[in-house]
Amino acid sequence: MIGPTRGAVTVHDILDRADVGRSTFYAHFRSKDDLLVVSGAEYLREAVAGQPDPVRTLFGLAVGHGEVYRALLGRKSNAIVIRAARRMVAEVLDGDTATVTFVSWGLVGLLGAVAEGELTVADAYRAYATDR
């Protein structure tokens, strides 16, 4: 069940759905945003594992799961979720150096544009590959 405000998910909602206690949740995650980053990064890591071009795979996921990516990175997303997505992409790129941080912010913007239908995968990948 989603919380009282449309789309607002609370820790209580997560605990009810997962059927776990508050102490168990906080033994593994600092917050619901931390849960988003950890679970999202795990999913993305698995999705790009063994792929010859992880970035192209990320763009493909944005097209294939447009509704999710629009919610995470689209025009109506909030700064907390966008920063969490940036951290997920940085983790998938394997590191948190200044270069990975810079590239991950750019990729998050491109992923949002692909999810919103503003760019095709080919155009987004071309922008990524050209600017590197």
Q: Is residue 57 within 8 Å of residue 101, measured between CB atoms?
A: no
Q: Residue 1: is its pLDDT beyond 60?
A: no
The pLDDT of 35-53, averaged and rounded, is: 90
- pLDDT band per the 50, 70, 90 thresholds, residue 6: low
C-alpha to C-alpha distance for 70 and 55, rounded to whole angstroms: 18
Domain of 35, in residue numbers: 31-131
Q: What is the pLDDT of residues 90-121, one digit of tens each?
A: 988 876 688 899 999 999 999 999 999 999 99
Q: Residue 84: is its pLDDT beyond 90?
A: no
Question: Is 45 found in the same domain as 21?
Answer: no
Q: Residue 47: is its pLDDT beyond 60?
A: yes
Question: Is 67 found in the same domain as 24?
Answer: no
Question: Is 42 found in the same domain as 24?
Answer: no
* CA 97 to each of CA 12, 43, 60, 87, 90: distance values in angstroms, whole numbers, following the listed order: 35, 22, 25, 12, 9
Number of folded domains in the chain? 2
- pLDDT band per the 50, 70, 90 thresholds, residue 3: very low
